[in-house]
Amino acid sequence: MTTNKDKTPLNQPASSSAIQDLYSAGYLDPQTRKEAIKLLCPPKIMWQVWADRMLVLFSAALILAGIVFFFAYNWANMAPWLKLGLIELAIVGCVIVTLIKGVQEIVGKVFLLAASVFVGVLLAVFGQTYQTGADAYQLFVGWALLIAGWVIVSKFGGLWLMWLLLVNTAVVLYFDQVVANSPDKLITTLSLLNITFVSAREYAVSKGISWLSGKWLRWVVLGAVFFFLTSYVMIQIVELNKISNWSMFPPILLLGLIVSSSYFYRFRSPDLFSLTLSALSICAIVLTILGKIIFEITGDNALVVLLFGLIILAVVSVAAFILREIGKSLEKEGSYGN
């Protein structure tokens, strides 16, 4: 294999990794990269790779669940040194397998993910055994901090998502245990946290960081943000008498998210599913407002319910029509984003 001065591969067997290397080095533009990957990875092969990886992840998840339930079932009959020793042995074993297989391979990534899970199990067992008195949110904060290094070196979207879930859980528990009766602040904090993660993901992908380019990572986090904000704004609309000083922030965030994501995922990084999330949010808010107005004016009767059902059908149909037209435009443009 020959390389140029900056050691970018120029003569090696054609593969998706070789294409990514050339793209990262600036030899290929985004459209050429997409077409090359399509030629090398036809849909059938791509589905086989996806299925293979999903089966590995599901198998690992089932094994980890079995280990956790093993400790739960045999808790009373196990000595403290045995509980901690077995978990520490599992962590060391997973790290050794990761070092042997390499963090670049899916098997190595999965074992590093397993080691990260065992760190949380170790903290929980230690806290229960010695009754440290720490709050639950502190356990998740410590867990996230301890595995942060592995998360960085893994370059594995699944482990990054798990880390983000730990941070979100820590925030929720902190507000529940320390900042009581502050749902507005909680929703605002969670939304800003996850919007920041999505924004960082989009920036990283634009800079050629391919291991974050899986759309599922965007969909999961963006979908969670839309769910948080849309659900809470719907509750605010229904319960207008429970407005607080922080109540303005979730609607403002939701409006900003809808506008920015609609523009970005239509023109900058086209993604029909992400646009669908925006459309679902708009439909939910519009129908909530209409429902509150109609039912407060006319009351609750069969005719009004039927009328509102027709309104729901009309609103959803309009959204579906618009999304279908956008999908046709994206297909003509050949734009699918990252």
3-state secondary structure of 9: strand
Separation between Cα atoms, residue 236 and residue 187, nearest integer Å? 12
In this predicted structure, the answer to whether residue 147 has a pLDDT above a threshold of 50 is: yes
Which of 96-108 are b and which e, b meaning 16 or more Cβ less than 10 Å from the residue's Cβ? ebbeebeeeeeeb
Percent of the chain with pLDDT over 70: 82
Which carries the bigger pLDDT value, residue 286 or residue 65? 286
Stretch 28-53: mean pLDDT, rounded?
A: 64
pLDDT in tens, 193-239: 999 999 999 999 888 888 888 788 899 999 999 999 999 999 989 88
Query: Residue 9: is its pLDDT beyond 50?
Result: no
Task: Tell me how far apart the alpha carbons of residues 19 and 334 are, in angstroms, rounded to a whole number.
Answer: 19
- 295 pLDDT band (50/70/90 cuts)? confident
Residue 154 tokens, joined: 């893994």
Token digits for 49? Answer: 């790779």
pLDDT at position 13 over 70 = no
pLDDT in tens, 160-203: 999 999 999 999 999 988 887 788 899 999 999 999 999 999 99
pLDDT confidence bin for 7, thresholds 50/70/90: very low
Residue 95, both tokens: 């790290």
Structure tokens at 181: 């009766």
pLDDT digits (tens, 9 = 90+) for 45-91: 555 666 666 777 777 778 777 877 877 777 677 777 887 888 899 89
| For the chain, domain boundaries | 1-41, 56-179, 181-338
Whole-model pTM?
0.76
Q: How far apart are CA 334 and CA 327, in angstroms?
A: 10
Q: Which of 41-45, 178-182, 308-312 has the lowest mean pLDDT?
A: 41-45
How much is the pLDDT for 233?
93
Minimal CA–CA distance to 56: which of 110, 15, 105?
Answer: 110
> Is 285 a residue whose pLDDT tops 90?
yes
Q: How far apart are the two ends of the chain, measured CA to CA in Å?
A: 30
Query: Which range (104-108, 256-260, 307-311) has the least confidence?
Result: 104-108
- Tell me the pLDDT band of 316, cut-offs 50, 70 and 90: very high
In this predicted structure, the answer to whether residue 2 has a pLDDT above a threshold of 50 is no
Per mean pLDDT, which range of 142-146, 242-246, 325-329 is the poorest?
A: 242-246
For 213, phi and psi rounded to 5 degrees?
-80, -5
Phi, psi for 3 (deg, rounded to 5): -135, 160
**Phi/psi of residue 175, nearest 5 degrees:** -65, -35
How many of the other CB atoms lie within 10 Å of CB of 235?
14
Reported as a pLDDT band with limits 50, 70 and 90, residue 6 is: very low
